[in-house]
Amino acid sequence: MSTQPKSIASRADKPAPSTQTSEIKRPSPDLKKTPLLAPFETLDRMAHASVAKATSGLSPSVLAEAWMDWATHLAVSPGKQLHLMEQAFRDAQTVWMASLGIGKPEAAPDTSQALNPDRRFAGEAWQKYPFNVWSQAHQQSWAWWQDATGGVHGVTPEHENLMGFVAGLMTDTAAPSNFAMTNADVISATLTEHGQNLVRGVKNLTEDLIAKTGTAPPAGPQVFEVGRNLATTPGKVVFRNDLIELIQYSPATDTVRPEPILIVPAWIMKYYILDLSAQNSLVAFLVAQGFTVFIVSWKNPGAEDRDLGMEDYRQLGVMESIDAALAITKAPKLHAVGYCLGGTLLSIAAAAMGRDGDARLASASFLAAQVDFTEAGPLRLFINDSEVTLIEDMMAEKGYLSSDQMVGAFALLRARDLIWAPAIHNYLLGQRSDAFDLMAWNADATRMPARMHSEYLRKLFLNNDLAEGRYHVEGKAIAVSDIRAPIFAVGTEDDHVAPWQSVYKMQLLADTDVTFVLTSGGHNAGIVSEPGHAGRHFRIAETKANATYRDPSEWLEKNAAQDGSWWTGFANWLAARSSALAAPPAMGAHSGAYTALCDAPGSYVMQR
């Protein structure tokens, strides 16, 4: 195990910035090409950007390469071909016999929903002829294509996974549940309501298309609004620069822990995912437990911010927030918390601090955040050099990645739940789901600067530089093992963005005490898991720095689930690593750089 580096001068000893707004030094463009080649490269980028628009940002060459690998190997695999022909004959025979009323149709195994029954065909009407035959035929087709694209001798695992995903996506597009004439529930609703469900569906579709074009706001009154019933925990914006607003929350107790909490959310989302409604706000919960809480509210970048990079996000987002929080509270240390991409950024900042002997972190917590991207879930299906290049060329036109492009990519990963199910519900059944706070937040997406997103995709996601010691801060390499503060890491069981096994790798890379939590729920709902939320459970265990490593499956087997919210365990963990209770600090500084500017939630969160 590595040893504690020698202490050097702390950043806390440095003078506070003299102005409230920090200027960003934007680097001049570097094409890395000779002037003669630059026009031709520009033409190529324009062509690639046009392709990206037509394919929603997905690189055709990625799929073409995977298809060629699969098709070539399948063509010289006669055994696999015979197996598939035999299986297709058996499936066809089963469906044909069922359609004649001979035998009872039984659903084929659906490996994509192995842990959850296929809800599309769960209704009583789907158990009757002919709908039971149609649903059986679809599920058998789905299973056959998964068999066809998997297990072909010689195909690389990456290409096999991508072909399986695409085959499943295309098969699901043709599911009988997606069409009014073959959906048992839609037919029943149409007969019962004399077609009024379809009339409402057309109205819903028209409203959504108008809202999509931006020519009109979403139909109907807005149930949730930031500052009214979202992001309402009382506080002040105590610092602002070109990239962030820093919010300090008002104390809710007579005494507080001296060490403040600084929360760094992801910049792909608005910060109030952690300050939703009053009953499920992590911020409000921590304040009620006697902590002074600060949170970073990221600017929604535009074309003028195209040259903002990862280093700008580290320096202006994390380091200047640390300076501000400690200057206001006059505490020697703070608890840093990072969520999703904010956690990845915090790991970079914390590793650099550890390398440089900056000991101002009392603890570092990472919520659904990855530092190793080799097992980054379904997103890895598409991320290779060709895809990243296409995204870069697409961003070059506007200077940022739009929220629509990000939302579309995530929707494809869970098309059944995020594309087809809402379409059936809204347009075929003519219904509208009741609005809730998490859905309102999810619709409030943000953009990402071109340079930062390119650096993130290449250095972290594609090359895995952070986990493998190649990521540089201020010209020198950093390592996660240099983080000296104790770590609290949270993974969620159903996370398709940051799979918990990937988040668990913090225990493999860190060289300090790590407390790992595995909680029920997904990437967002698992983190927003307040006490009293029905059906929630979690596992928690601490691994000391000198303990031997256990792989995720062993850890899962050794640690039993307990009912309730992980928030309570988190608050207890923070309190155990904090000093005795004391009087709350002032809200911002009395004068100078950190005087209060306005009430929370501030202005950056309102940017569209």
Average pLDDT over residues 395-402: 86
Residue whose token pair is 């807005």: 222
Distances (CA, A) of 64 to 59, 382, 495: 9, 12, 28
Cβ distance 394 to 405 under 8 Å? yes
- The SS3 call for residue 229 is coil
Please report which confidence band the pLDDT of residue 56 belongs to, taking 50, 70 and 90 as the band edges.
low
Measured in whole angstroms, the distance separating CA 170 from the mean position of its chain's CA atoms is: 24
Q: Is the pLDDT of residue 385 over 90?
A: no
Q: Which residues pair with 472 in a beta bridge?
A: 477
Burial class (CB in 10 A: 0-12, 13-18, 19+), 16: middle
Residue 157 tokens, joined? 């695992």
**Contact predicate 233/227, CB 8 Å:** no
pLDDT of residue 370: 96
Closest by CA position to 467, among listed 453, 477, 455: 477
Q: Residue 145 and residue 152: Cα distance in Å, rounded?
A: 12
pLDDT reading at 560 higher than 50: yes
Question: What does the CA dihedral 473, 475, 481, 486 come to, rounded to 10 degrees?
Answer: -40
pLDDT of residue 17: 41
The CA distance from 8 to 31, in Å, is 38
In degrees and rounded to multiples of 5, residue 348 shows phi and psi of -65, -45
Which of 397, 389, 405, 410 lies closest to 458 in space, CA to CA? 389
d(CA 251, CA 328): 14
User: In which residue are the tokens 């101002």 written?
Assistant: 360
Q: Mean pLDDT for the chain?
A: 87
> What confidence tier does 47 reach under pLDDT thresholds 50, 70, 90?
confident
pLDDT in tens, 562-576: 999 999 999 999 999
- Whether residue 470 contacts residue 497, with contact meaning beta carbons closer than 8 Å, is answered with no
Element spanning 366, H or E: strand 361-367
Residues with a known catalytic role:
340
Res. 182 pLDDT band, cuts 50 70 90: very high
What's residue 26's pLDDT?
A: 46
pLDDT tens digits, 409-434: 777 778 888 889 999 999 999 998 87
* pLDDT at 114 exceeding the cut of 60: no
Would you state the structure tokens that stand for residue 607, as one six-digit string? 């940017």
Q: What is the pLDDT of residue 37?
A: 55
Q: State both tokens at 456.
A: 């993130």
Lookup: tokens for 176: 């009988």
8 Å CB contact between 41 and 33: yes
Average pLDDT of the segment spanning 106-118: 48
CA 461 to CA 476: how far, in whole Å? 20
Whether pLDDT at 42 is above 90: no
User: Where would I find the beta strands (DSSP E) of 451-594?
Assistant: 472-473, 476-477, 487-492, 514-519, 537-543, 562-563
Q: Mark 80-104 as b/e (b = at least 16 C-beta within 10 Å).
A: beeebeeeeeebeebbeebbeeeee
The mean pLDDT of 435-452, rounded to a whole number, is 87
Over the stretch 61-83, which tens digit does the pLDDT of each residue have?
Answer: 888 999 999 999 999 999 999 99
pLDDT band for position 1 (cuts 50, 70, 90): very low
195: pLDDT strictly greater than 80: yes
Distance CA 316, CA 305 (A): 13
Can you give the pLDDT at residue 113? Answer: 42
Q: How far apart are CA 516 and CA 550, in angstroms?
A: 12
Query: What is the DSSP track for 20-81?
Result: SSPPP-PPPP---S-TTTHHHHHHHHHHHHHHHHHTTT--HHHHHHHHHHHHHHHHT-HHHH
Residue 215 has pLDDT above 90, yes or no: no
| Helix or strand run (H / E) with residue 361 | strand 361-367
**Given a cut of 90, is residue 509 above it in pLDDT?**
yes
Q: Which two tokens stand for residue 302?
A: 């535009």
Closest CA relative to residue 186, chosen from 118, 119, 125: 125
pLDDT of residue 32: 46
Yes or no: say if 210 and 220 are a contact pair by the CB < 8 Å rule: no
DSSP 231-287: S-S-EEEEEE-SSEEEEEEPP-SSSB-SS-EEEE--TTS-GGGGS-SGGG-HHHHHH
- In the numeric block, which tokens belong to residue 494? 């159903």
Helices vs. strands in the chain: H and E counts, helices first: 21, 15
- What does the pLDDT look like over 259-278, one tens digit per residue? 999 999 999 889 999 999 99
Mean pLDDT of 426-450: 88
**Model confidence pLDDT, tens digit, residues 302-340:** 999 999 999 999 999 999 999 999 999 999 999 999 999
Radius of gyration of the chain measured on its C-alpha atoms: 26
Residue 590 is predicted with a pLDDT of 86
348-360 confidence digits (pLDDT tens): 999 999 999 999 9
CB 424 within 8 A of CB 183: yes
Closest alpha carbon to 358 in 319, 392, 401, 404: 319
Report the pLDDT value the prediction gives residue 181, as an integer from 0 to 100.
95
- Assess whether pLDDT exceeds 90 at residue 387: no
CB contact at 8 A, 357 and 7: yes
